Each structure stands twice: as C-alpha cells, then as structure tokens.
C-alpha cells in the first residue's frame, strides 16, 4: 500500500480527523479565492495609477498642499484644516481633477516625533508620467518660479525655510575666471555619477571659498544655485551635520558659511590648547571637528552630496578638513581685478570710466558706486590708486 493510500484510509476511518482536514481545506480555498481579487486589484493599482509622494520636509510640500485644495472634488472630500491663516486640505483622503485626469490623494501625519511629520500621496489615473511632472510644476506659485528655497539646519535638525529671489552669475562681480571654474566643476560633477562609480570613488563634491570679507562669496553661491536650479540647505551648526547631509536630495546644495566662526575646535591645536601636538582621537570625539570630518568623507556620506564652505581664515581650519577627498576645490576670492571693477562700474553707471585703480573688494566698490556719482567715484578710485603707489 502506498503512502497516499495509507493517508486516505486513515482519514476516511477517522471522522474527527476528516472534519479537521476538511475545515483546513475549506479555509485554504477561501483564502485563495479572497487573495485572487486582491492580487488583481494590486496589479491594476500598479499598472493604471501613477503615484507621487511628497513629504513635509520637502520644499514642495506646501505648494502641493495648497494646489490640491483648489482642485479637489468637495463632494468626496470634506476634511479641512486651518493652516497659514486659511482653510487647507485636511487629513484623510479625497479625489480631484487635474487637466481632466482623475486623481486621489491621501494626507497623513505622524505625531510621535519632535516635529510632526506629514505626507501627501497623490495617485493619478494615468500611465503618463508627464501629467505628474506638469502637476508638480504647476503647483509652484508664480512668486516661487523665480526664487530658490533656502532651508535652515541647526543642531536640532531643520529649522525653518525661506525663499530668495534668483540672481544670475552676471550680476555677481567676481573675477570671470573664478566663475568659469566653478561652473565647469559643477557641470562636470552633475554628469559624472557613472565615472565615479566605475572607479570606486565617492560621488560627492566639496568646495571651499576663502578670502577677505566682502569679496562676494555669499553672492557667488546664491547665483550659482540660481543658475543650476539648486535648492540651498544652509547649515547653522556643525553639530548634527551628518544628519543634515543625509537629508539632502539630488537638487540640494549644502552651504556652511564662515565655518571657522560657527564654533571653536576646528583645529587640533585648538582642541588641546595652542601649540599642542599629537592630539589623541578621543579628545576629538563629539567635537565639531570630528563631526565634520566624518560627514564630509565617511560611511555616512551620501552619494551626490554637494557642499560649499566659506571662510575668511583658511589657516584656522584643520588640514584634515582640507585634504583631497573631503575638499575637491579650494578657491581664493580676493579683491576685484581692474577688469572686473570696470565691468561693475559699467553696470552701475552705464558707461566706462575707471582711470586709476588699486584693488578693492566688491563690497567696497558697491558702497562707493551706490552713494557717489560716476565722476565722484572715478576721482575716489584715482586718489586711492595714487595713495597705494606712494605707500608702496
């Protein structure tokens, strides 16, 4: 007798066992029948609908939230909330129309955090990704189309957001060679993911801009972000730098201004007192220096990271910060050359006019050109050039 025959004989001679097996078989059959439509619906869900998820930490969240409010179908979605002084789409789900395409949305909140975390999921009844792309573009209010987002990060995480009007690189009076160098570097980096991957090199870019105050470092970063369409994540504290870097998206440019002035302890000598040597690593753990070294080039450094650091005192930074692999470009920005000063004079007064000239920062020239007539500015520059020659 085969094993199958034995099992069948045992089952038919024992009513209790037969009943149990029958119940199990029936339950299994019902489970299969129930999961078939669920699986079918899941296939339809994944093939017919196109989804986009927007998180409250993203720069687009507020725009999407407001845009849905004007396009949702009130008959199916009556949930509202008070936000920014007006009624907005409330939490829960609903339906809407965009360009004749039906969409459904779900707005949720996770409150078990220091800062409430919200998510909007929007599903469009189409396979056309272009509809989603146009939806996200149309979400932007007119005043946002000519601006960049600046998100602020402190030791506790994200600390607010503001918008700055875009400005072109041609409005920044920094020597042309410096602007060209930065544009070329960022252009190459953005298209070099595969180049880095094939060579086992971390795909990131770190730039230090250094030089005296008033030479245009901040303005240059602003214009660079505007031209490339970057959103700026402005780091106000080096504590938590790693967490800030990890929050970055492909379109984000991190900015750390006046890094040496944010906090002390960015040099090993400073960690143990002036003149100290051979500092033990334990003395650095938990310090801003330890945080920045591991964030710029460590296991937690994300792919695609882009950051720009500024300082007026490059010598105050530890050599470990400046080593290749952490910083890829160190660019000095000094007083304007004569050619750049002439371009700035022309932009302010609409004509050529500089005769004598001794190097000055862009901030000095801006103040002069904003308060003096063209003739007065020419005379002041000529006097300054004469005084500089006599002092030499």
Q: Burial of 384 by CB count in 10 Å (0-12 exposed, 13-18 middle, 19+ buried)?
A: middle
Question: Are the beta carbons of 129 and 119 closer than 8 angstroms?
Answer: no
The token duo for 364 is 């000095």
pLDDT value at position 86?
65
Q: Pairing mode, if any, of strands 231-235 and 80-83? A: unpaired
Higher pLDDT among residues 153 and 90, named by residue: 153
Q: Pairing mode, if any, of strands 147-154 and 305-311? A: unpaired
CA atoms of 263 and 260, how far apart (whole Å): 6
Number of Cα atoms under 13 Å in the Cβ half of residue 157: 8
In the chain, what is the straight-line distance between the N-terminal and C-terminal CA atoms, in Å? 115
pTM reported for the whole predicted model: 0.68
Question: Are the beta carbons of 267 and 317 closer than 8 angstroms?
Answer: yes
pLDDT value at position 3?
44
pLDDT value at position 34?
56
- C-alpha dihedral (69, 70, 76, 81), degrees to nearest 10: 30
For the chain, the domains span 50-145, 157-332, 338-391
Of the listed ranges 72-76, 134-138, 292-296, 388-392, the one predicted with least confidence: 72-76
pLDDT value at position 87?
64
In eight-state DSSP terms, residue 301 is P
For range 263-292, the mean pLDDT: 55
Element (H, E) at 114: none
Higher pLDDT among residues 315 and 81, named by residue: 315
Residues paired with 148 in a beta bridge? 164
E strands present in 267-374: 305-311, 329-332
pLDDT value at position 282?
40
Residue 76 has pLDDT above 90, yes or no: no
CA atoms of 69 and 139, how far apart (whole Å): 11
Domain covering 157-332: architecture: 3-Layer(aba) Sandwich (3.40)
* Residue 190 phi, psi dihedral angles, 5° rounding: -60, -25
Question: Are the beta carbons of 219 and 368 closer than 8 angstroms?
Answer: no
Nearest partner of 333 among 303, 308, 296, judged by Cα: 308
For range 176-197, the mean pLDDT: 94
CA atoms of 329 and 198, how far apart (whole Å): 22
Question: Are the beta carbons of 273 and 178 closer than 8 angstroms?
Answer: no
Higher pLDDT among residues 329 and 42, named by residue: 329
pLDDT value at position 378?
93
**Digit-coded pLDDT (tens) for 339-376:** 999 999 999 999 998 888 999 999 999 999 999 999 99
CB count, 10 Å around CB of 118?
A: 17
């Amino acid at each position: 007798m085969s094993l199958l025959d034995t099992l069948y004989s045992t089952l038919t001679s024992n009513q209790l066992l037969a009943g149990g097996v029958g119940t199990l078989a029936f339950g299994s059959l019902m489970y299969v029948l129930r999961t078939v439509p669920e699986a079918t619906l899941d296939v339809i869900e994944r093939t017919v609908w196109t989804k986009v998820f927007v998180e409250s930490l993203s720069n687009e969240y507020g725009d999407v939230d407001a845009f849905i409010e004007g396009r949702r179908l009130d008959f199916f979605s009556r949930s509202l909330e008070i936000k920014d002084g007006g009624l907005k789409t409330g939490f829960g789900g609903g339906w809407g129309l965009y360009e004749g395409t039906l969409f459904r949305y779900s707005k949720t909140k996770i409150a078990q955090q220091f800062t409430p975390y919200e998510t909007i999921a929007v599903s469009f009844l189409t396979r056309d990704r272009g509809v989603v792309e146009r939806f996200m573009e149309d979400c932007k209010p007119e005043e946002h189309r000519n601006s960049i987002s600046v998100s602020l990060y402190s030791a506790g995480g994200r600390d607010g957001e503001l918008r700055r009007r875009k400005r072109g690189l041609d409005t920044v009076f920094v020597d042309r060679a410096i602007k060209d160098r930065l544009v070329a570097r960022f252009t190459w980096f953005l298209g070099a993911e595969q180049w880095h991957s094939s060579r086992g090199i971390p795909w990131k870019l770190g730039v230090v801009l250094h030089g005296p105050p008033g030479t245009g470092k901040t303005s240059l970063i602003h214009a660079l972000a505007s031209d490339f369409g970057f959103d700026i994540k402005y780091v106000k504290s080096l504590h938590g730098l790693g967490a800030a870097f990890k929050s970055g998206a492909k379109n984000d440019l991190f900015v750390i201004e006046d890094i040496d002035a944010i906090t002390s302890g960015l040099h090993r000598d400073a960690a143990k007192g002036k003149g100290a040597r051979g500092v033990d690593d334990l003395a650095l753990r938990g310090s801003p220096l330890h945080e920045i070294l591991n964030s710029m080039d460590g296991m937690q450094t994300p792919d695609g990271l882009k950051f720009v650091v500024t300082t007026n005192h490059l010598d105050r930074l530890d050599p470990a910060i400046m080593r290749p692999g952490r910083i890829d470009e160190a660019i000095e920005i000094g007083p304007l050359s004569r050619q750049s000063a002439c371009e700035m004079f022309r932009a302010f007064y609409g004509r050529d006019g500089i005769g004598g000239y001794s190097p000055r920062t862009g901030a000095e020239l801006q103040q002069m050109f904003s308060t003096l007539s063209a003739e007065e500015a020419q005379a002041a520059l000529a006097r300054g050039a004469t005084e500089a020659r006599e002092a030499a």
